[in-house]
Amino acid sequence: MSFDAPIKAIGEKDLVAPKSTFKSITEAVSRVTENPAPKGWWIAFLTAFSFTGVLLGSIGYLFWRGVGVWGNNSPVAWAWDITNFVWWVGIGHAGTLISAVLFLFRQKWRTSINRFAEAMTIFAVICALIFPGIHVGRIWHAYYLAPIPNQMGIWPNFKSPLLWDVFAVSTYFTVSLLFWFVGLVPDLATLRDRAKNSLRRMVYGFLALGWRGSNRHWQNYERAYMILAALSTPLVLSVHSVVSFDFATSVEPGWHTTIFPPYFVAGAVFSGFAMVMTLLLIARSVFKLTDLVTMTHVELMNKIMLATGSLVGYAYAMEFFVAWYSGNEYERYVFINRATGPYAWAYWIMITCNVISPQLFWSKRLRTNIPLSFVVSIFINIGMWFERFVIIVTSLHRDFIPSSWGYFHPTLIDITTYMGSLGLFFTLFLLFLRWVPMIAIAELKSILPEADPHFGEHHDEAHEGDSHGEPALATSAEGH
């Protein structure tokens, strides 16, 4: 029985445009890296690059003067710095989820977007890793976090969730990078083979690790990819669970909750998909990839966002319920204060963006509307940033002892650091679009009809006629 058998009954759609061939796919993806960059790319790149400069400037100023250039204070000792960190890590979730989890579940539709999502993961995690690094007061001693033998005989404190975080995020980054790179090898070989000048040939040749496309290569490749996918899958859950431990293991009301690990993971997937959607819709229109990234993909992703958005909304409600049910006055106050206190505006932005806006996707008409999908994805990106802001800042600003209550005002440097991190992200992403196949060529080919060894054979009544000469369809593990 074939996995690739379509289920017409539930209305599955084509995963690539009809009449796509091996050649057309190779051509469509590779030409982006070979042709001169379009004007739009240059505008976007220079803009993003100048924001990267702003980031470097802000960080330089931060190092020169101290953390006080931000608005952090007592009691709000963490604010935008850690908000940005968690936000970026969350965004970095979709990549691995799409690549690894959907791969293991044989969700073939992932092939059009997985490269994209993985790249986004890498860059988002790079942006995320900046913040814990620069938010410390004495950056020149940040290496104390690493377990390096030293003459003082002092190790890091393995009880601290912050240390777990260092390990969790760096592991995640390493595995994601490996996974991404392994997946890239056949495609880099394709670019090498198409290279018209020796520099390209040398660079891509080096990166392609001597790939010749032999049967043995493919076998090893598939196996390695499968193992890495299996390794990455628990990381999807672990990274954001560990990030949530930063909060969940503390004593702060509003942080000290057991719901955090699943709630953070759901939120991360939610925000990751939103960011993939944002980037995908831009790239799709700029580089005219409508044949490869079809409405089916958009719709499926919107469905995931609807599901995770509802999960997140459920978590928000559950937090309130548990706070009330616990009978703990501090816990209760934190949640009442979130919704009605000085930060109510942030809370309601969060609710509007994260809970209400994805509900539009119950309607098929709306979830297949490209401009609307784009707008909602932006909303979710904003909403998820506010979710982290609400968790961090509103919990801290009014905790146990009323005399210590305060309010947080961001400074200009807070804003430039955040905008700068977006600049860095887009700089890296635009470079990726220009120099690396942004869609997994080899994988995408695997879902073409030509990839089916039995292509053209009559073997099943149900498939009669329809599947001839047509691309594979969205699939389900229960194929008959």
Which residues of this chain interact with other proteins, rule CB under 8 A? 63, 65-69, 71-78, 132, 135-146, 148-157, 159-163, 166, 246, 249-252, 329-330, 333, 396, 398-407, 409
Separation between Cα atoms, residue 335 and residue 359, nearest integer Å: 23
Nearest to 109 by CA among 311, 295, 242: 295
**What's the min distance (Å) between Cβ of 206 and other proteins?**
24
**What's the min distance (Å) between Cβ of 400 and other proteins?**
5
Closer CB to other proteins, residue 147 or residue 213?
147
**What's the min distance (Å) between Cβ of 72 and other proteins?**
7
**What's the min distance (Å) between Cβ of 209 and other proteins?**
25
Contact 263, 315 (CB under 8 A): yes
Separation between Cα atoms, residue 330 and residue 429, nearest integer Å: 44
Residue 346: count of CB within 10 angstroms of its CB: 18
DSSP for 196-232?
-SHHHHHHHHHHTTT----HHHHHHHHHHHHHHHHHH
| Side-chain-facing half-sphere of 117: CA atoms under 13 Å | 29
- Encoding tokens for residue 69? 């250039």
**What's the min distance (Å) between Cβ of 405 and other proteins?**
4
Closer CB to other proteins, residue 199 or residue 251?
251
Separation between Cα atoms, residue 90 and residue 270, nearest integer Å: 8
Closer CB to other proteins, residue 36 or residue 402?
402
Nearest to 436 by CA among 122, 15, 99: 122
Closer CB to other proteins, residue 14 or residue 252?
252
Closer CB to other proteins, residue 14 or residue 399?
399
**What's the min distance (Å) between Cβ of 395 and other proteins?**
9
Closer CB to other proteins, residue 329 or residue 457?
329
Closer CB to other proteins, residue 61 or residue 221?
61
- Encoding tokens for residue 457? 């054979």
Closer CB to other proteins, residue 144 or residue 218?
144
Nearest to 186 by CA among 442, 361, 469, 475: 442
Closer CB to other proteins, residue 115 or residue 398?
398
**What's the min distance (Å) between Cβ of 344 and other proteins?**
16
Separation between Cα atoms, residue 331 and residue 283, nearest integer Å: 44
**What's the min distance (Å) between Cβ of 412 and other proteins?**
14
CA-CA-CA-CA dihedral for 258, 259, 265, 268, to nearest 10: -120
Nearest to 108 by CA among 478, 371, 477, 480: 477
Residue 230: count of CB within 10 angstroms of its CB: 12
**What's the min distance (Å) between Cβ of 161 and other proteins?**
7
